[in-house]
Each structure stands twice: as structure tokens, then as C-alpha cells.
Amino acid sequence: MKAQDELNFNRIAEAIKYIRANFKSQPSLEEIAKKVNLSPFHFQKLFSEWAGTSPKRFLQYVSIGHARQLLKNNHSLFSTALETGLSGSSRLHDLFINIEGMTPGEYKNGGKNLSINYSFAQSPFGNILVASTSKGICDISFYEDENTALQTLQNKFPEAIYTQLADLEQQNALFIFNHDWTKLRQIKLHLKGTDFQIKVWESLLKIPMGQLSTYGAIAKNLANPNAARAVGTAIGDNPVAFLIPCHRVIQSSGALGGYHWGTDRKTAIIGWEAAKANPQPAW
């Protein structure tokens, strides 16, 4: 590692350590930058390049991680806000909406007022579980065991109301295995993720069928060329298999890289899509 790179790494590591230790006081950009002897402008740029997110967003991640734990331990919304260093319940509400895509009350009650339809189906690459809310598709997962797949889905929102029902949203989503999805009417998605995750998942939708991209290329397209590792983490957290085509991303070396539902399945999907996109003439 070059001397300047090592210096920058040490600065970011120190900044992360400081944020984790002092998040309850919600330190400002200027305060954190001063701690590592940089101007706010240069610290913001350097941190974003190395961490794949802004200092403010990282502070929010740390804060909401603490808030989640308090809510799980039955703290009130108000006490959770104060314990997290926020001025009140309204700021806690804004934080959860921004990061989790739901209110802290909805998170606390485990999706108590959320209705989720689900169904089991077959695809060219194995059995899949498809789930949807009134807002759109929230989960598509390949599975080996039906009960385990359903339990995994239910663990995400243990208090939600689950109904085994193949609704129109799910049927439209399943057409993707037989048709060019760009020619279907828009399939709605109901995703819970950070701004960065959503941006990564949106970028995956732009990769044409039969083509591949790399973690580094996606990071570069998001104006975060040093965030390839963060991109890989976001891709690994993709909750909607195949429809959000995380299988189309490989390593810059040409190696497949990981896949939540197995590298053998990833290989099969890539080959299947390549054949669909570039059919060979019959001999």
C-alpha cells in the first residue's frame, strides 16, 4: 500500500471509530473532519470514496442500528429517539423512512399492519417463492425446502399477515421467465433498502439480458469508483432474485463471484440468458 493510501485508510478508520463511539451526540461533518485533520470538503470526498457512502449516511446507519436494537427490546419511540441522540420522535420517524422505507412504529411491530401474499412456483432454475404487498413485489427467492423458504420470509416481518395467494403482481413477475421483461407492462416493486442499495439495484435493471457487468463498473457508474466492495454487499442483499438481475454481475477478472442462491445456478442463468439473447441457427 502506498504511503498516501495508508494515510488515507488510517484517517477513514479513525473517522469510523469516532462516529461509532460518538453517534449519540450526532457529530457534524466539521467535527469529524477536524478529528482527522482534514477540511470538511476533502473529508467528505475521501470518506465517500473509501467507504462507499457519505459520512452523514454512515452516521445514519450507525444510529439506526442502535435504534433497531432498542425497539426490539421494547423501548418506546420517544426514549429510542433520545437514546440514539435524536431530538425527538419526529426525527426518528424521518430516519426510519429514509433508511428502512417504513416508520419506526411499523418496524417495531414487525409489520403488524402489513399484508403479504405469497405463492410457490417453478422456474427454469428451480423452485421459487414469490411475495407481494399492495405496493408490488417484495421478495423472490429460489429455495430447496418450501417450509424453510416461507419461514425465512416470515422472519423479515413476523407480525405481518401472510396469505398464500398468487395475485396479479406475482403473475406478471413470473412472466419474466418466458418473455422479454422490457416488453411487459411495468412490474411494481416494494423494496426496503438504503438509498445506496436502491441505487445499486436500479443499476442492475439497466444491464441488458445476455450481457454482464462488473462490481467495479457499477461502482463507477454510481460515481463511487472505490466502492466496488460496497456494491458487492448491496448486490448480495438483493431481495428479488432474477427480476433484479444480480446474476449479471461478475468480477473484473472474469470470475463469477458470489451469488446468494448458489454459483451453479448463477452459471446456468447466465448461459440461459445468453442463449435467449443470441440464438444460434439450427444445423
Domain boundaries, the chain: 3-108, 115-183, 195-277
Q: Which residue is associated with the grid cell 463469477?
A: 256
Tell me the average pLDDT across 6-31. Answer: 84
Query: How many C-beta atoms lie closer than 10 Å to residue 111's C-beta?
Result: 19
Q: How confident is the model at residue 282 (pLDDT cuts 50, 70, 90)?
A: very low
Q: Which CATH number fits domain 195-277: 3.40.50.720, 1.20.1200.10, 3.30.70.260, 1.10.10.10?
A: 1.10.10.10
Cell numbers at 279, concatenated? 440464438
Distance CA 113, CA 129 (A): 22
DSSP bridge partners of 128: 121, 142
Same fold? 3-108, 195-277: yes
Predicted confidence (pLDDT) at residue 236 exceeds the cutoff of 60? yes
Query: How many C-beta atoms lie closer than 10 Å to residue 230's C-beta?
Result: 20
Q: Which of 92-106, 196-210, 269-283 tops mean pLDDT?
A: 196-210
Out of 100-104, 220-224, 258-262, pick the least confident. 100-104
Catalytic residue among 71, 234, 246, 270: 246
What's the confidence (pLDDT) of residue 1? 47
Strands 249-250 and 161-164: unpaired
| pLDDT tens-digit series, residues 90-132 | 665 555 555 455 555 665 555 667 889 999 998 888 899 999 9
What's the confidence (pLDDT) of residue 19? 85
Q: How confident is the model at residue 159 (pLDDT cuts 50, 70, 90)?
A: confident
Distance CA 24, CA 155 (A): 29
Q: Which CATH number fits domain 3-108: 1.10.10.60, 3.30.565.10, 2.102.10.10, 3.10.310.30?
A: 1.10.10.60
Average pLDDT, the chain: 79
> Catalytic: 138?
no
Out of 136-145, 221-230, 261-270, pick the least confident. 221-230
The answer to whether the pTM exceeds 0.95 is no
Concatenated DSSP letters for 120-173?
A: EEEETTEEEEEEEETTEEEEEEE-S-HHHHHHHHHHHSTTSEEEE---HHHHHH
Q: Which of 65-79, 174-188, 240-254 tops mean pLDDT?
A: 240-254
Tell me the average pLDDT across 236-240. Answer: 89
Out of 126-130, 169-173, 175-179, 270-274, pick the least confident. 175-179
What's the confidence (pLDDT) of residue 117? 94
The correct answer on CATH 3.40.50.300 for the domain covering 115-183 is no
